[in-house]
Structure 1
Amino acid sequence: MMIRLCMVLVAVMFVFVSKISAQSNSEELQEKRGQKVLRKLEELLEVKELLDLLKEDSNDMNDEQDNKRTEETIELGTSEELDEERRDYSTDYDCAHRDHPDYGCVGKCIATSKCPGNHYISNLCPNKPADVKCCFTANSDSQCTSGFSDGHCIATSQCPNNDYVSNYCPTKPPGVKCCRSKPTDTCPNDGCGSSLKTKACNVKSNSNIRLRDNNSVFNSKGNNDGADATSNIADMCNGKKSKRSSYDCVISGVTVPTPGGWVCIQAKVLDYLIALANDGHDILVNTITGACHSKTSKHYSGLAVDIQKESSASNYQAWMTKCTSMGGTAYGPGDAGHANHVHCHFP
């Protein structure tokens, strides 16, 4: 009996101890699990804080970009305004280099409706729409252009004899005033160099060299096209390039377009004309870089010149000989298409 009781007590104690042990193990396990969950929560909180920081940085960057875009829009204008500006103010060479008698070389190709005082010249913006002309008051405030017939907002340093009036160019920097005289130093300095300029001026001033002043004698479209021999040499002497004609010509029944644009008359051509004059020849220059010629003509490269045979007494053979002696190629009376003039070109 005692033994059984002891065995029961042992069994009960074993069960009790087992339960306590199990409970202890369960609590320990739960505690571990709780700690693990807490760690996970802490990690998640850290991740959330990091995400919040990144979000704040991203918002700041977006705000900066938005502000920058706003500033650029304020400074440059909308895309439509930019397109309009590019359309209006991308100026052709002819316009930018036209030395206006009152305003100088300040022309810009813009719509006539935007040209203050309608001070524009036609046919100087051949690559623009019909309503775009060469305006010489594009950068001037209306107070200046309406207050004075020749008023133009320009740097005081470019206004001769300080002939300017203050407070008539309110949208311009302090150094820009309303000048009432033709400004100086406004022509672009992108000519052909001082050496060619000097040679061209020597041709212009030589009394033995006469220059045609209108291409209409060769083609009706060439009337006052600014690419005649006189204008070619004058432009070069003024530090600019020589103009080429820009219209269609009919040569031997074939329509040949002239290239337009500007080119430097090369030294060999200028030297050739001076050499003829120094030899005592009185010559009339028909064409240099303008008028009608074959599509691949050396004229359009500034490497050829045509001299008129004015009478039977013209010593055209000497002109041809001089051309070949200087390294050129000459054609004249007796050669096809050259019955009344001598053509000389250089490689």
Structure 2
Amino acid sequence: MRHTRLSTTAIATAAAIALAAGPAAAHTTQPRTSSAAARLAREILNTKGISYATAHVEHQDAASLPRQNLLDTANGRPAKTSPWGHAHGARVGLDPRMLNGVLKLRNQYHYTFTISEFVGGRHSPNSAHYKGRVVDVNYINGKHVGKRTGAPYRAFMAACRNLGANLVLGPGDANHDTHVHCQWPTHH
């Protein structure tokens, strides 16, 4: 009888500890990204002609830079947003349609370009960046994006639209004078 009572107490104590640790443990366990997103992220990382910004415009956080977003995705983890952005360091899955578009901008349209942001940085509070559906590009064919830089940003923007982007912004659009924003629609 005493042995049973002790075992029951030990089980109850272990269950209470696990229950108390439950919410904290939930924060350390990351959801997995889709296998399609992981495969596309690996392809992008292995494609010559695509480079990545090494700093954010405002603050620094290596964990939310675009190359790290791809590495996380390639390894089955969601990408990390910047701690100062509206998503405050949340984990976000990169959309496979957007990643496919990035790959085709290089392989089908033959652009060389630099990705400045996926989910990192600061964007408007409800930005699709925080949903993993946007790529920002600040260099195209070796030239910085801008009205007078010679970067072929208009043709690049048209390519994004041809690849399924439903919101494409660039020089002349508010807050987009130095980069192209290519955003894919939500899943239906």
TM category, shorter: 0.7 to 0.9
Aligned to 1:270: 99
Tell me how far 1:88 sits from its aligned partner.
Answer: 9.8
Query: What count of residue pairs does the alignment treat as equivalent?
Result: 176
Q: Could you say if the C-alpha distance between residues 239 and 73 of structure 1 is closer, same or farther in structure 2, counting changes exceeding 3 Å? A: same
Q: Is the 8 A contact 2:66 2:115 kept in 1?
A: yes
Q: Could you say if the C-alpha distance between residues 88 and 340 of structure 1 is closer, same or farther in structure 2, counting changes exceeding 3 Å? A: closer
* Higher alpha-carbon Rg: 1
Q: Could you say if the C-alpha distance between residues 334 and 302 of structure 1 is closer, same or farther in structure 2, counting changes exceeding 3 Å? A: same
Per-residue CA deviation, residues 177-204 of structure 1 (Å, 9 max, x unaligned), is xxxxxxxxxxxxx522322211111111
Q: How does 1:158-307 map to 2 (within 5 A)?
A: 190-215=31-56, 218-220=57-59, 222-224=60-62, 226-247=63-84, 249=85, 257-278=86-107, 279-307=109-137
- Larger helix proportion, structure 1 or 2? 1
Instruction: Specify which structure has the bigger relative contact order, considering alpha-carbon pairs within 8 angstroms and separated by 6 or more residues.
Output: 2
> What is the one-letter code of the residue matched to 1:289?
V
Uncovered stretches (5+) of structure 1, i.e. residues with no partner: 1-63, 98-189, 250-256
Per-residue CA deviation, residues 35-65 of structure 1 (Å, 9 max, x unaligned), is xxxxxxxxxxxxxxxxxxxxxxxxxxxxx7x
For residues 88 and 293 of structure 1, the distance between their equivalents in structure 2, rounded to whole angstroms, comes to: 29
For residue 172 of structure 2, the aligned residue among 331, 334, 338 is 334
> What is the one-letter code of the residue matched to 2:61?
N
Fraction of identical pairs, as percent: 23
> What is the one-letter code of the residue matched to 1:274?
L
Aligned to 1:320: 157
Tell me how far 1:89 sits from its aligned partner.
Answer: 5.9
For residues 242 and 261 of structure 1, the distance between their equivalents in structure 2, rounded to whole angstroms, comes to: 8
Q: Is the 8 A contact 2:61 2:82 kept in 1?
A: no
Per-residue CA deviation, residues 246-303 of structure 1 (Å, 9 max, x unaligned), is 22x5xxxxxxx33432121111211111111112211000000111111100011111
RMSD between superposed Cα atoms in Å: 2.8
Q: Secondary structure at the match of 1:343?
A: strand
Tell me how far 1:83 sits from its aligned partner.
Answer: 8.1
Aligned to 2:184: 346
Per-residue CA deviation, residues 212-246 of structure 1 (Å, 9 max, x unaligned), is 2333xx222x332x111010011111122211222
Q: Could you say if the C-alpha distance between residues 317 and 75 of structure 1 is closer, same or farther in structure 2, counting changes exceeding 3 Å? A: same
Per-residue CA deviation, residues 294-341 of structure 1 (Å, 9 max, x unaligned), is 110001111111100415121111121011122311000011110100
Uncovered stretches (5+) of structure 2, i.e. residues with no partner: none
Q: Secondary structure at the match of 1:201?
A: helix
Q: How does 1:127-138 map to 2 (within 5 A)?
A: none
> What is the one-letter code of the residue matched to 1:234?
L
For residues 240 and 90 of structure 1, the distance between their equivalents in structure 2, rounded to whole angstroms, comes to: 16
Q: How does 1:99-114 map to 2 (within 5 A)?
A: none
Per-residue CA deviation, residues 112-171 of structure 1 (Å, 9 max, x unaligned), is xxxxxxxxxxxxxxxxxxxxxxxxxxxxxxxxxxxxxxxxxxxxxxxxxxxxxxxxxxxx
Q: Is the 8 A contact 1:227 1:289 kept in 2?
A: yes
For residues 331 and 89 of structure 1, the distance between their equivalents in structure 2, rounded to whole angstroms, comes to: 40
Q: Is the 8 A contact 1:213 1:228 kept in 2?
A: yes
Aligned to 2:138: 308
The TM-score with structure 2 as length reference comes to 0.80
The TM-score with structure 1 as length reference comes to 0.46
